[in-house]
Copies of this chain bind each other. A is one copy, B any other.
Amino acid sequence: MTEDIHTRLNEFIKKKGLRSTPQRNAIVDTIFESKDHFTADELWERIRKTNSKASRATLYRTLSLLVEAGLLQEIDLGEDQKTYDPNFNNSPSHNHLICVDCGYVTEFEDNHLELLNDCLTRRMGFRPVRQSIRIEACCEMLRTKGSCPNLIKARVEGKRLPKKR
């Protein structure tokens, strides 16, 4: 899993005449050891719990590098901070359903959706490059049963919930 990422990163690094460093590798490992979306700050917390040490500056510089190398993608989850998504490498289509009750994000794919997007794009005189669907929705289980595992998990983890509107 992470080996693949390292291989691809090393290719990029070599091509650009850059260098491999322990800090960079530690950050990359930390990012890709999970499939979760994260903000720079959340990543910083995860790094701090590691025995590897890297500065915030290096963290930001590495994030930019990974995005430039195409190994990481910035996504919009309606948060104030930039959010990064580490697993679009394995799934070309990248759509997110965001729960307005708890902020939980579900990634999904759908061939019909992609096809339709593709057609619409061409009809408007463009060639598709990247497409993402963002769906905000409320949890049916929470409405009918009064609770939802994702919400409970979010509370336990102390995540700040979406601001109501």
- Each complex incorporates copies of this chain amounting to 2
Nearest CB to that of A82 among chain B residues? B80
B112 & A139 in contact (Cβ 8 Å cutoff): no
Among B67, B74, B108, B121, which residue has its beta carbon within 8 angstroms of that of A137?
B121
Among B67, B78, B97, B129, which residue has its beta carbon within 8 angstroms of that of A121?
B97
Q: What is the interface size of chain A, counting residues whose CB is below 8 A from a CB of the partner?
A: 39
CA of A129 to CA of B76 in the docked complex: distance in angstroms?
Answer: 17
Within 8 A of B (CB), among A108-156: 108, 110, 112-113, 116-117, 120-122, 124-141, 143
Among B100, B133, B143, which residue has its beta carbon within 8 angstroms of that of A117?
B133
In the complex, what residues of B have CB within 8 A of residue A41's CB? none
CA of A165 to CA of B70 in the docked complex: distance in angstroms?
Answer: 8
Q: Given the interface contacts A76-B76, A78-B76, does A126 sit within 8 Å of B120 by beta carbon?
A: no
CB of A51 within 8 A of chain B? no
A121 & B139 in contact (Cβ 8 Å cutoff): no
A136 & B125 in contact (Cβ 8 Å cutoff): no
CB distance from A75 to the nearest CB of B (A): 9
CB of A99 within 8 A of chain B? yes
CB of A42 within 8 A of chain B? no
A100 & B129 in contact (Cβ 8 Å cutoff): yes
CB distance from A77 to the nearest CB of B (A): 9
User: Which positions in A face B, CB cutoff 8 Å?
Assistant: 67-68, 70, 74, 76, 78, 97, 99-100, 106, 108, 110, 112-113, 116-117, 120-122, 124-141, 143, 165
